[in-house]
Amino acid sequence: MLRSWYAGLLFVIVFSMPLGSYLLGIDLGFINVYAFRVVLLISLILLIWNRDLKTHVGPLSKNLFHLLILWFSYGCLSMLWSVSLKSSLKDLFYLATGIVIYLVVVSLLRKAENSFKTVGYAFLCGFAVVNGIALWEIQTGFHFTGPFIDKLNTLAMNHPVNLVPVVTFDNPNNYSTYIILALPIVTFLLKDRWKWSVLTWPVAFYFIFSTGSRLGMIAFWVLLIGWIGLSYYNPNIKSYLFNMQKTVVGILMVIGITGSIFLTNTFEKSNTMGRLGEPITLEIPSDPHSSGNVRAKLMLNGWDYFWQSAGFGIGAGNFRVYTQRKVTGRDTGTTLNPHSWIVEIASQYGLLITVLCLLWIGKVFKVFWKHRNYHKDAFYIVEYGLLTTIGYFLVSNSASSFIGMPVNWMVLTLLAYFADKLLTGNLEEDMVSRSGNDESLPPHNGTSR
């Protein structure tokens, strides 16, 4: 019974994660309380009460837990030289939330029935809901309230930016980041129905393209090629014809995606109406206010902060403050977040935390890659791990600020957990069972091919 309760809590946590404060949210002034945070807290209390809270299940999850604790501790220490304690406390709250997500999800994965299946269906349901909201935004031009939406009030009603989906993420780049990180596990869930699995990719790309996220589209392109390439390692696919069909479909999609990248209005502004009644001109690289130039300035700012702090970082959450004060003299307008996960870490938390993060991600990728010839059932977890690690590395540098996105900590936790399961060869209780009428798989014997 308790295992079923744990599975239910795991499902609700993963499903409610992308909906944020828009799902049963209450603003208390000093903090927003909403479904995701409430269920997370309830789960933490229940796990502690039943003595089921665990810090790790193997070496990689242990390393991640220690990294998160060190990261949080260093963030607290950095308040000694922080110029804005309020900004530091906000970042530390996000880090503390990340630690709680890690502890709760690892513990629930360990105890819940069919844990990977539960996570997969939760991602699929969340994926469907947020994309449904995005479709409504694209069709109507209406949006939920939020910081990004407030900026649309200065634009004409027929401005194409009004049709850019934001959903619950306050930023189109953050929405495309969620799609990329959810796509591998959704594809995994539909593995037995390859036509649906193939259909998932163009659907995901449609919404990513709608956001105008360049790095999101590049990440999608890379994942698509990786998904096609991994099919040739897949021990469940023995049909040469099937691989050829998948490759042809993939090549057509790659060609279409490559062409569409250069058509998106992120690269070229083709609309005729800008701010209320004002014409807009073609956006060119020399425009100091273009997206590309602003991002370049943000990145240069980040590295300047890193060097100015002698590699120790300017302090938790202080990137926005420094940029707003134009410490480096570069004007980025109202865009103050780093828009790069690596720059966000390096500029605020210094060299030590940055190097440890990169080493850990590299180690996780190495574990999944070494198991690419693993037995039939586990191959799909290998596929998920490889695609997610690559996608994470790319789109983490697309989101305006990644530290506050729960999907960041969720994905790191899942990668750590299943990489450890591969290392120990103990995947049986976590595997998604194939459809009930499919008896094509032999019993798992715990050995590689």
Average pLDDT value for residue range 433-441: 36
Q: Is the residue at 445 inside a domain?
A: no
Taking the C-alpha atoms of residue 165 and residue 161, their distance in angstroms, rounded to an integer, is 9
**pLDDT at 449 (0 to 100):** 36
**pLDDT at 374 (0 to 100):** 65
**pLDDT at 242 (0 to 100):** 54
Q: Cβ neighbours of residue 163 under 8 Å, at least 6 residues apart?
A: 137, 138, 141, 210
Cα 20 to chain centroid distance, Å, stands at 14
Q: Is the residue at 446 inside a domain?
A: no
For 327-339, letters b (16+ CB in 10 Å) and e give bbebebeebbbbb
**pLDDT at 59 (0 to 100):** 93
pLDDT band (50, 70, 90) for residue 423: confident
CA distances to 315, 381, 432 from 191, rounded to whole Å, are 44, 11, 10
Task: Yes or no: say if 354 and 345 are a contact pair by the CB < 8 Å rule.
Answer: yes
Average pLDDT value for residue range 401-424: 90
Instruction: Supply the range of the domain harboring residue 113.
Output: 2-430
Average pLDDT value for residue range 244-262: 59
Average pLDDT value for residue range 303-314: 91
Q: Is the residue at 154 inside a domain?
A: yes
pLDDT band (50, 70, 90) for residue 250: low
> pLDDT averaged over the chain?
78
Taking the C-alpha atoms of residue 164 and residue 211, their distance in angstroms, rounded to an integer, is 5
**pLDDT at 42 (0 to 100):** 92
Task: Yes or no: say if 381 and 421 are a contact pair by the CB < 8 Å rule.
Answer: yes
Average pLDDT value for residue range 350-355: 94
Taking the C-alpha atoms of residue 173 and residue 144, their distance in angstroms, rounded to an integer, is 16
Give φ, ψ of 217 to 5 degrees: -70, -40
pLDDT band (50, 70, 90) for residue 214: confident
Query: 23-32, 220-229, 301-310, 318-327 — which is least confidently predicted?
Result: 23-32
Query: 158-172, 234-248, 289-303, 328-342 — which is least confidently predicted?
Result: 234-248
**pLDDT at 110 (0 to 100):** 87
Cα distance between the two ends of the chain: 36
327 or 206: which carries more pLDDT confidence? 206
**pLDDT at 356 (0 to 100):** 96
Average pLDDT value for residue range 81-86: 90
Average pLDDT value for residue range 18-36: 71
Burial of 270 (0-12, 13-18, 19+ CB in 10 A): exposed
**pLDDT at 443 (0 to 100):** 37
pLDDT band (50, 70, 90) for residue 422: confident
**pLDDT at 324 (0 to 100):** 86
Q: Which amino acid is at 83?
A: V
Q: Cβ neighbours of residue 181 under 8 Å, at least 6 residues apart?
A: 388, 391, 392, 395, 407, 411
pLDDT exceeds 70 at position 353: yes
The total number of structural domains in the chain stands at 1
pLDDT band (50, 70, 90) for residue 424: confident
Task: Yes or no: say if 301 and 323 are a contact pair by the CB < 8 Å rule.
Answer: yes
H helical segments located in 191-290: 194-211, 214-230, 240-261
**pLDDT at 24 (0 to 100):** 64
pLDDT exceeds 60 at position 82: yes
What is the value of pTM for the model shown?
0.84
pLDDT band (50, 70, 90) for residue 426: low
pLDDT exceeds 50 at position 408: yes
**pLDDT at 151 (0 to 100):** 65
Q: Is the residue at 439 inside a domain?
A: no
**pLDDT at 391 (0 to 100):** 92
pLDDT exceeds 50 at position 329: yes
Q: Is the residue at 302 inside a domain?
A: yes
Query: 125-139, 182-196, 363-377, 389-403 — which is least confidently predicted?
Result: 182-196
**pLDDT at 23 (0 to 100):** 67
Taking the C-alpha atoms of residue 311 and residue 291, their distance in angstroms, rounded to an integer, is 28
Q: Is the residue at 255 inside a domain?
A: yes
Percent of the chain's residues with pLDDT above 90 = 33
- State whether residue 31 is helix, strand or coil: coil
Q: Which amino acid is at 47?
A: L
Average pLDDT value for residue range 355-367: 95
**pLDDT at 272 (0 to 100):** 35
Q: Is the residue at 442 inside a domain?
A: no
Side-chain-side CA neighbours of 404 within 13 Å: the count stands at: 20
Taking the C-alpha atoms of residue 359 and residue 137, their distance in angstroms, rounded to an integer, is 40
Q: Is the residue at 173 inside a domain?
A: yes
**pLDDT at 41 (0 to 100):** 92
Average pLDDT value for residue range 354-372: 92
Average pLDDT value for residue range 434-445: 36
Adjacent-strand bridge partners of 26: 33
